[in-house]
Amino acid sequence: MMATTPGGALLVLALTLPAGGMLIAFVLGGRAAERVAIAVLAAGVLVALLIDAAVLRASAPLVYLVGGWPPPLGMTLVADGVSAAMLLTAALVLLATALYGRATQATPPGVTEARAPFAFWCFLLALAAALAAAFLGGDLFNLFVALEMLTFAALALACLEGKPSQFRSELRYLLFALIGSVLYLLGTALLYGNYGTLDIRLLAAARRADLPTLLAGALMTAGLAAKMALFPLHLWLPPAHAGAPPAASALLSGLVVKAAFVLLLRLWFWVLPPIPAAAAAPILAALGAAAILVGSLLALRQARLKLLVAYSTVAQIGYLFLMFPLVLAGDADASSRAWLGGVLQATSHAFAKAAMFLAAGLIAARLGHDRVAELGGAGRAMPKAVIAFGLAGLSLMGIPPSGGFTAKWLLLTSALATGQWWWALVILGGGLLTGGYVYRVLAGSLTAPPADHVVAAPGPAGPQQVALALALVSVALGLLPLASFGLLEIGRPVIGGGR
């Protein structure tokens, strides 16, 4: 039934290139790891572009049967619109972070290999492999392995700084990630017992609304929500993400969380039967709404810039959960809008949040601290970083034109079209609160520096430009005409064929 499509081999390349690159970088060590990482990540952008082009040209998902064995016995790699878009997003953010890391994570002169830089470059590749596995995997158990790859890569990146205060928050992060994985695995055990396959497309064709399926869905959702730090499981995220070096924080907040999101999409729209899913979706959205409000309010109150940005992640992740009841509401047009809005929120947040963390890191390095109340002079000292922070903030607030605006507008109109106006209120309220904390930072940065103001010497210009470029991408996503998001619809299961 399923067969390898033309261009399917690209999917193998997208996965094996970073995985093999990591192994080789690990053996070569030291400065060679940096060179391997940059080369592989640059090639990764090319492969992602080719995959996007192939998916668009075929107007159908790319499929690759691994080992030539069709499911249920074998397993597939699949790139539909969502995978293709997320893969490109990940490839660009990874490459940008790598370019930023050339200045901040270079092996110091005089040694052949140093701990933090070597781990950074190896785990950058590891993360690329894990994300490719998570976005392309067509089998739920294979996705479990991908989640574990992601856990190891993310944890190592989070611990890069090696600061004494850090291990507590990162250990808590690890425990949450592991519990999330185990709950997910528990669900796959039930699904295999129920259907005799873990292939996502075969499950979509066979799904039934029985107790094992629903319990599996609940357990897996809880596990993935723990990994995404959905309210009320959000407490681990801010200290864990804020404690990492900026380049790692950008990846953790921008990308790692999105892998669990893609798995959640697979689960809810492919594996779970639509009618009970539609009944349960408002719970998910309500938790998302709570995350938006609580996360934004906490971000508003943070004294530290990096913690502020991390709490903003809690809030922005909340938006992703609003799409579930809207997609499942049964109105084909509104469903399509919510789908686009959700996925676009995931991609635009990836660019915006990466830009924000990188900019925040640069500002903190220049001023020697990251206290929000004492940012005066930052605007003069590092204009590009502050502009990057502001542009990314526009996207998070949902001010046009920006990717974040388009995403939130699509979700908002979908909420109104399906008569669920309360979610629209949450989106607007969240935007106002986001405006509040972004304003706090910007206003502070633009004031005059205090008299006894000392700043470190300016670093190289490259990192500032990287942060600015990422912020510009998150804004530019909003300039694309809606029709160009057709890619995201490819391979999406049709839910509610009109009223």
Partner 1 sequence: MTIYGLLGAALVALGLYGLVVQAAVLRKILAFNLLGAGVFLLFGVVARRGAAAGLAADPVPQAMVITGLVVAFAATALAIAMALRMHQITGAATLAEPADE
Partner 2 sequence: MILDALIAGLVLVAAGWTLAARDAFAAVIGFVCFGLLLTLAWARLGAVDVALTEAAIGAGATGILLLFAVVRLRGGTEEVAAATPSPPQRIAAGLLAAAIGIALALAVMLLPDPAPSLAAPAMAELPAFGLGNPVAAVLMGYRGLDTLLESVVLVFAVLAIWSMAPDRRWGGVPGPRFPRAEHGPLSLMARLLPPIGIVIGIHLAWAGADAPGGKFQGGTVLAAMWLLAWVAGLAQAPAIASRRLRLVLVAGPLVFLAVGLAGMLVADGFLAYPPAFAKPLIVLIEAAMTLSVAAALALLIAGPPERAA
CA dihedral 468, 130, 246, 409 (to 10 degrees): 50
At closest approach, how far in Å is the CB of 207 from partner 1? 18
How many residues of this chain interact with partner 1, rule: CB under 8 A? 29
**Closer to partner 1 by Cβ: residue 87 or 233:** 233
At closest approach, how far in Å is the CB of 123 from partner 1? 13
CA dihedral 51, 56, 59, 63 (to 10 degrees): 0
Report if residue 56 touches partner 2, rule: CB under 8 A.
Answer: no
**Closer to partner 2 by Cβ: residue 141 or 409:** 141
CA dihedral 123, 124, 129, 134 (to 10 degrees): 100
**Closer to partner 2 by Cβ: residue 204 or 442:** 204
- Enumerate the H helices of 302-402 as residue ranges: 305-327, 332-367, 378-381, 383-397
- CA within 13 Å, CB half, 269: 27
Cβ–Cβ < 8 Å for 376, 453: yes
Report if residue 155 touches partner 1, rule: CB under 8 A.
Answer: yes
Phi, then psi, of 494 in degrees rounded to 5: -80, 125
Sign of CA dihedral 457, 461, 462, 466: positive
Segment near partner 2 (CB under 8 A); pick from 111-119, 310-318, 320-328, 433-441: 111-119
CA distance 366 to 420: 46
At closest approach, how far in Å is the CB of 198 from partner 2? 10
Of positions 13, 42, 185, 214, contacts partner 1 by CB under 8 A: 185
Report if residue 179 touches partner 1, rule: CB under 8 A.
Answer: yes
Report if residue 172 touches partner 1, rule: CB under 8 A.
Answer: yes
**Closer to partner 1 by Cβ: residue 48 or 154:** 154
Q: Centre a 10 Å sphere on the Cβ of residue 454 and count the other Cβ atoms it contains.
A: 9
Report if residue 190 touches partner 1, rule: CB under 8 A.
Answer: yes
CA distance 483 to 119: 41
**Closer to partner 1 by Cβ: residue 183 or 250:** 183
Report if residue 127 touches partner 1, rule: CB under 8 A.
Answer: no
CA distance 110 to 344: 45
Strand 76-79 relative to strand 62-65, pairing: antiparallel
**Closer to partner 1 by Cβ: residue 58 or 175:** 175
At closest approach, how far in Å is the CB of 122 from partner 2? 6
**Subset of residues 66 to 125 that bind partner 1, contact rule: CB under 8 A:** 73
Q: Centre a 10 Å sphere on the Cβ of residue 54 and count the other Cβ atoms it contains.
A: 19
Cβ–Cβ < 8 Å for 85, 347: yes
At closest approach, how far in Å is the CB of 166 from partner 1? 9
| Residue 23 interacts with which of partner 2, partner 1, none, CB < 5 to 8 Å by class | partner 2
Report if residue 73 touches partner 2, rule: CB under 8 A.
Answer: yes
| Residue 6 interacts with which of partner 1, partner 2, none, CB < 5 to 8 Å by class | none
Report if residue 151 touches partner 1, rule: CB under 8 A.
Answer: yes
Report if residue 9 touches partner 2, rule: CB under 8 A.
Answer: yes
Question: What are the residues whose beta carbons fall under 8 Å from the beta carbon of 421, sequence distance 6 or more?
Answer: 415
* DSSP-based three-state secondary structure for 199: strand
Segment near partner 1 (CB under 8 A); pick from 100-108, 175-183, 265-273, 408-416: 175-183
Closest CA to 418 of 333, 313, 318: 333
Of positions 190, 230, 265, 289, contacts partner 2 by CB under 8 A: 190
**Closer to partner 2 by Cβ: residue 27 or 46:** 27
Cβ–Cβ < 8 Å for 78, 138: yes
Report if residue 16 touches partner 2, rule: CB under 8 A.
Answer: yes
Report if residue 145 touches partner 1, rule: CB under 8 A.
Answer: yes
Segment near partner 1 (CB under 8 A); pick from 31-39, 183-191, 240-248, 366-374: 183-191
Measured CA to CA in angstroms, residue 36 lies from 64, 97, 499 at distances of 27, 15, 53
Over the window 167 to 186, marking each residue x when it contacts partner 2 by CB under 8 A and - when it does not, the resulting string is -------------------x
How many residues of this chain interact with partner 2, rule: CB under 8 A? 60
Report if residue 159 touches partner 1, rule: CB under 8 A.
Answer: yes
CA distance 433 to 174: 30
Measured CA to CA in angstroms, residue 187 lies from 73, 155, 377 at distances of 19, 24, 52
Report if residue 343 touches partner 2, rule: CB under 8 A.
Answer: no
> Burial letters for 402-436: b for 16+ Cβ neighbours within 10 Å, e otherwise?
bbbbbbbbbbbbbbebbebeebbebbeebbebbbe
**Closer to partner 1 by Cβ: residue 153 or 410:** 153
Report if residue 171 touches partner 1, rule: CB under 8 A.
Answer: yes
**141, burial (CB in 10 Å: exposed 0-12, middle 13-18, buried 19+):** middle
Interacting residues with partner 1 (CB under 8 A): 73, 141, 144-145, 148, 151-152, 155, 159, 164, 167-168, 170-172, 174-175, 178-179, 181-182, 185-186, 188-190, 192-193, 196
Question: Interface with partner 2 by CB under 8 A: which residues?
Answer: 4, 9, 12, 16, 19-20, 22-24, 26-27, 29, 64-69, 72-75, 112-116, 118-119, 122-123, 126, 129, 133, 141-142, 145-146, 148-149, 152-153, 155-156, 159-160, 162, 186, 190, 193-197, 210-212, 215-216, 219
